[in-house]
């Protein structure tokens, strides 16, 4: 019988993510780095109805005011409000449909109703194939990393360095140079 896949823990993090399957090493590393760098992020499962959150980082919960009990099992739409731009949501939907990455400036809302501006980066996480250690084609999870930005940065469409995007690009560059 197969053993339970290892949990993902970031150095210094008080939480862990328990994937249903063994993830590709690059995706374990990505998730561990997000935890170690205290990033705000959620992980969603595209195989479940309505693409629900299956994990939220402590930083995400603290910043938004939600608890795990409030949001696990729900789609991320609860963060949207009247000032959230439909075009931004469509860009995220297109990336999910295309099984790809996206980066977009978003207006979201905390549990108390306060709006916040963030630079959102979403990427895929894949199950590891056992024969050669490669990734399976379809994503097992999506991970969305939020970096708080200001209203001025949002309006100017300034480049806010989202650590998740920067780190994923570094991983891909390293793979390309192997």
Over the stretch 59-88, which tens digit does the pLDDT of each residue have?
Answer: 999 999 999 999 999 999 999 999 999 999
Instruction: Give 1's pLDDT tier (boundaries 50, 70, 90).
Output: very low
For domain 23-176, the CATH architecture is 2-Layer Sandwich (3.30)
What pLDDT, in 10s, does the model give residues 130-158? 555 455 578 889 999 999 887 887 777 66
Query: In whole angstroms, how far apart are CA 157 and each of 115, 120, 138, 164?
Result: 17, 12, 31, 18
Of 8-22, 43-57, 83-97, where does mean pLDDT reach its minimum?
Answer: 8-22
Q: What is the pLDDT of residue 133?
A: 47
SS3 148: strand
Of 123, 121, 141, the residue nearest 22 (C-alpha): 141
Residue 6 pLDDT > 80:
no
CA 22 to chain centre: 18
pTM of the full predicted structure?
Answer: 0.84
pLDDT value, residue 29:
86
The answer to whether residues 139 and 126 touch, using CB atoms and an 8 Å cutoff, is yes
139 C-beta neighbours (distance < 10 Å), count: 21
Per-residue pLDDT tens over the stretch 93-127: 999 999 999 999 999 999 999 999 999 999 998 88
């Amino acid at each position: 019988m197969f053993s339970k896949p290892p949990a993902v823990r970031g150095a210094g993090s008080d939480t862990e993510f328990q994937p249903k399957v063994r993830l590709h090493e690059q995706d374990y590393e990505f998730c561990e780095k997000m935890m170690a760098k205290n990033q705000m992020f959620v992980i969603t499962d595209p195989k479940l109805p309505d693409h629900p959150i299956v994990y939220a980082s402590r930083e995400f919960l603290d910043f938004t005011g939600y608890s795990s009990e409030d949001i696990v099992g729900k789609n991320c739409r609860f963060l949207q409000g009247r000032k959230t731009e439909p075009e931004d949501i469509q860009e995220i939907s297109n990336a999910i449909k295309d099984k790809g990455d996206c980066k977009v400036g978003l207006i979201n809302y905390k549990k108390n109703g306060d709006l916040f501006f963030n630079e959102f980066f979403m990427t895929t996480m894949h199950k590891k194939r056992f024969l050669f250690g490669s990734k399976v084609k379809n994503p097992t999870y999506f991970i969305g990393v939020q970096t708080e930005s200001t209203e001025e940065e949002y309006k100017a469409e300034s480049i806010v360095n989202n650590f998740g995007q920067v780190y994923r690009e570094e991983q891909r560059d390293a793979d390309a140079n192997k």
